[in-house]
Structure 1
């Protein structure tokens, strides 16, 4: 059974998690902290901590996973660089995991919700957003990942069971969300950030399905092709 390590620095949070599955069952060890502007300093110690707690050496790992985005440009580069360095050095596959899908899985695990719309604050008056159906641990994308002004958000129809759970920092822009979208949301959680704990579970799913991407093949997903900064006059 594979032993997988995941790490994330895509938001104001920094996290690492290790998943170990064998005949005795499953063991999940994780660290998570809100550490704005301290990701470089905190990420490697977190990795050491989860390895030590699990009693696993880096040489015993079967794969590395990381939050490939969308998210903070700087944070994604930190996570990608750290993950690629580990994967190259250990000769392991590197699995990029969607931060928005990780948020959807977090909502499903915590609350058992089926329909989840995930949004992260993309700055510059925009959000990263996607929508998902979560059922029996499986996740299906209902709205492809995109970056947009929050006032442009529309949700796909669900039929009679038209209730969405909303999660992620993008919902801090609640006042800009269209009224018709607000009316379709049962609850919203603007405090949660993506975490390596869910990412390692998603990576284990992909690994079980045969995913073995080489370290050089994995790239962060920014969604924005070009970011323009304008200096105030």
Structure 2
């Protein structure tokens, strides 16, 4: 299986190639020019492996949630690569990618900073076929709204926890310092994408859709004052 995974949904941008049992990855948190660095990282991993996009089986795309512009860039670049190379796409959410390395130890609460005093969050458990499945669908809201239902998650992961330090205790999950700073990485997205590609979840690139969770990207002055 030969897959290219890409993501620019958050402060980080990353690209990874999965070539059989081998992987090549790049990850950066650029201070500026994220779109340019994102494209450069994709070119770097392809050049290092000496492969062309047309020789791959699929593009795995990080689809959000995250920053509005970053999600849009991530999805549009994935579509452009897939259309250009005649490949299908496999969508993976940023919250799924965060949870994936940790669900082997039990259910996980994944959170990312959504700005405006809110977080993107969802709960996930391990699944043999898809890697992870949601036990609480991803949503956005103030930290007071983070109340997992059903089987309670044991661990928390994602930069939402460092943005709002009281969140871990409020949600009754354990969060270590490294996990509290975590952002999604294309290597995680690639491994989840491989499972889903094998399960027949690849899409025509025209069907790839961003996962924004929120339509509004800024507060008015009155709304800020009320908060």
User: TM-score w.r.t. structure 1 length?
Assistant: 0.86
Answer whether contact 2:116 2:218 (CA < 8 A) is retained: no
Structure 1's 178 and 55: CA in aligned 2 closer, same or farther, altered over 3 A?
closer
Alignment of 1:1-233 (within 5 A): 2-21=1-20, 26-108=21-103, 112-134=104-126, 138-158=131-151, 164-177=154-167, 179-181=169-171, 184-188=172-176, 189-231=179-221
Q: CA deviation at 1:48?
A: 1.6
> How far apart are the structure 2 equivalents of 1:164 and 1:68?
26
CA drift at 1:175: 4.6
RMSD of aligned residue pairs (Cα, Å): 2.2
Does the CA-based 8 Å contact 1:13-1:36 persist in structure 2?
no
Residue 17 of structure 1 aligns to a residue whose secondary structure is strand
Q: Does the CA contact (< 8 Å) of 1:39 and 1:78 recur in 2?
A: no
Unaligned runs of at least 5 residues, structure 1: none
C-alpha contact 1:10 1:79 (8 A) present in aligned 2:
yes
Q: After the TM superposition, list the runs of 4 or more consecutive aligned residues in structure 1 that deviate by more than 4 angstroms.
A: none
Counterpart CA distance in 2 for 1:180 and 1:207 is 37
Question: Where does the alignment leave 5 or more consecutive residues of structure 2 unmatched?
Answer: none
Distance (whole Å) between structure 1 residues aligned to residue 193 and residue 170 of structure 2? 35
Q: How many residues align?
A: 220
Contact 1:114/1:135, CA 8 A, preserved across alignment? no
TM-score normalized with structure 2 length: 0.88
